[in-house]
Amino acid sequence: MKEDIQETRLDNGMVVLTDRMSGVRSATLGLFYRIGSRNEPDELNGITHFIEHCVFKGTTRRTALEIAIEQDRLGGNLEAFTTHEETGFVIKVIDDRLEAAFDLLSDMLTDPRLNDEDLVNEQRVIIEEMKMNEDSPEDLLSDIFQREFFPGHPLGLNITGTPETVRSFSSELTRRYHDQNFRSGNLVIAAAGNVEHELLLDLVRSSNFSRPHVATDQRKQELPTPTTAAPISANHREDLEQVHFVFATPTVSGHDPRRYAADLLANILGGGSASRLWQKVREERGLTYSIGAGAVMFRDCGFLSISGSASPEHLNEITDLVTAELRSLVGNKVSDEELQLQKDQARAAILLALEDSASRAASLAQSELTHGRQIRVEETLSGIDAVTLNDIQDIAAEYFRAEKIAFAALGDLGGFTMGRERLDLGN
């Protein structure tokens, strides 16, 4: 299904993007702000995520219940999220309900009520969310790893904040942060499906997004580039049946032209059921139910991680197997067939995603947020196809080094020891 992308850049800094899909009745509308948890000062850690929650608590036009009812009437598929680098609100509807969906989102995001009573209630909700994450070993280990991998940097802080910071978010403080950051100049609006670009522009121009914004600093915020660490973190929890583990190394950023090679390298390691670690750790030895690898790329840095869980008595053998595979990749032991398999898998995933309006809207937004332009499917496929065995080996040789490998584990670690010498890759 061919892309039909149009874009308009408004004078206030907002970007409006559409990708028209013929023959479908769906329309996905996404509003994405260039603001995430890494933009926050330490004392306001979690406020972006807090605002993401609080815009559902009502506006001057709608109560929280009316927002919920309208959301269900439109199809009930309204998702909101906060990451380290963006905040998004996405709704998928039937094409003839796009105008109603836009009115709902624009009202929530430009005119949230943010009164003290609502905020106190939402503080309780988010603190319960924190407790839920603390009861999940995977989530808890992820928080531990991120904090120690990015020490002293906002990327190491929890997106939800802490109970102390969240309780400090008064109505006045929250409104000020909302007005300063959730503004039109930070906004990318992306829609895909049976949508008309000019219709969406008309909706934008007649909404509060087009009004002059009051007293905010419009200068681009310069964010410090993090310096990654290589911690070895063993967190003993004898109440857990399994040990949850993460191995990680730095890798390239989302801007780096080598990002295609880094993604393919991660997939060779643990991107699917034919990947090395899945086959050797699960299929050949039965040491775990699940193990995988993936690359996380921010705008100025990235990391490749290998994660899974297993019975404590299997962790030593899994560690040796992971180390052996990293060493093998440094030694340039990737075949043409192995690389081609991952290229074929990546191509299939990209082309199949073209059939879904939500995937296409997300792709529009991510290209703009990361690159400031549209990365067309043809360019992505060409970038993947151009990756060579030498490109894979160069990434492995640069980043797969004992002094760069981080390790974190959570569980019953009695009898398990991890020293830097166990991570020696021979380079």
For 289-326, write each residue's pLDDT tens digit. 999 999 999 999 999 999 999 999 999 999 999 999 99
Residues 170, 244 within the same domain = no
Give me the sign of the Cα torsion angle 15, 263, 395, 402: positive
Report which of 186, 212, 190 is spatially closest to residue 200, judged by C-alpha positions. 190
Per-residue tokens: 114: 């943010």
Residue 97: CATH number of its domain: 3.30.830.10
Residues 202 and 244 in one domain: no
Mean pLDDT of 163-172: 97
pLDDT score of 19: 97
Residues 64, 153, single domain; the answer is: yes
Identify the pLDDT of residue 426.
Answer: 72
Is 90 found in the same domain as 59?
yes
Residue ranges of the alpha helices (H) in 157-258? 163-167, 171-181, 197-205
Residue 214 has pLDDT above 50, yes or no: no
Residue 218 pLDDT class (50, 70, 90 cuts): very low
Mean pLDDT of 229-251: 94
| Claim to verify: residue 74 and residue 176 sit in the same structural domain | yes
pLDDT band at 75; cut points 50, 70, 90? confident
Alpha-carbon distance 205 to 11, whole Å?
Answer: 11
Q: What is the pLDDT of residue 421?
A: 80
Same domain, 135 and 246: no
CA pair distance 353, 347, nearest whole angstrom: 10
Same domain, 191 and 248: no
Domain end: 176, 210, 244, which one? Answer: 210
Residue type present at position 274: A
- The Cα–Cα gap between 399 and 303 comes to 9
pLDDT of the residue at 223: 77
Whether residue 216 is contained in a domain is answered as no
Q: Are residues 257 and 160 in the same domain?
A: no
What is the pTM for the complete model shown? 0.93
Average pLDDT over residues 142-167: 96
Assess if residue 108 is contained within a domain. Answer: yes
* Residue 42 contacts residue 157 (beta carbons within 8 Å): yes
**Residue 117 — very low, low, confident or very high, per pLDDT cuts 50/70/90?**
very high
Residue 223 resides in a domain: no
**Across 367-395, average pLDDT:** 96
Half-sphere exposure of 274 (CA within 13 A, CB side): 9
* Residue 220: band (very low, low, confident or very high) from pLDDT cuts 50, 70, 90: low
How many structural domains compose the chain?
2
Confidence class for position 219, pLDDT limits 50, 70, 90: very low
Model confidence at 23: pLDDT above 80: yes
Residue 213 has pLDDT above 90, yes or no: no
The residue type at 203: L
CB contact at 8 A, 35 and 48: yes
Query: Residue 386 pLDDT more than 50?
Result: yes
Looking at the structure, do residues 201 and 237 belong to the same domain, yes or no? no
Do residues 123 and 55 share a domain? yes
Lowest mean pLDDT, pick from 21-25, 258-262, 293-297 = 21-25
Number of neighbours of residue 356 by Cβ within 10 angstroms: 18
Same domain, 90 and 206: yes
Domain annotation covers residue 222: no
Residue 215 C-alpha from the chain's centroid: 31
- What gap in Å lies between CA 262 and CA 399, rounded to an integer? 10
Question: Residue 131 falls within a domain, yes or no?
Answer: yes
Q: How far apart are CA 153 and CA 13, in angstroms?
A: 28
**Sign (positive or negative) of CA dihedral 309, 312, 314, 317:** positive
47 and 190 together in one domain? yes
Average pLDDT of the segment spanning 313-342: 93
Q: Please indicate whether residue 86 or residue 333 has the higher confidence score (pLDDT).
A: 86
Strand 187-193 with 26-33, pairing: antiparallel
Tell me the residue range of the domain where 325 lies. Answer: 232-423
- In this prediction, residue 425 carries a pLDDT of 78
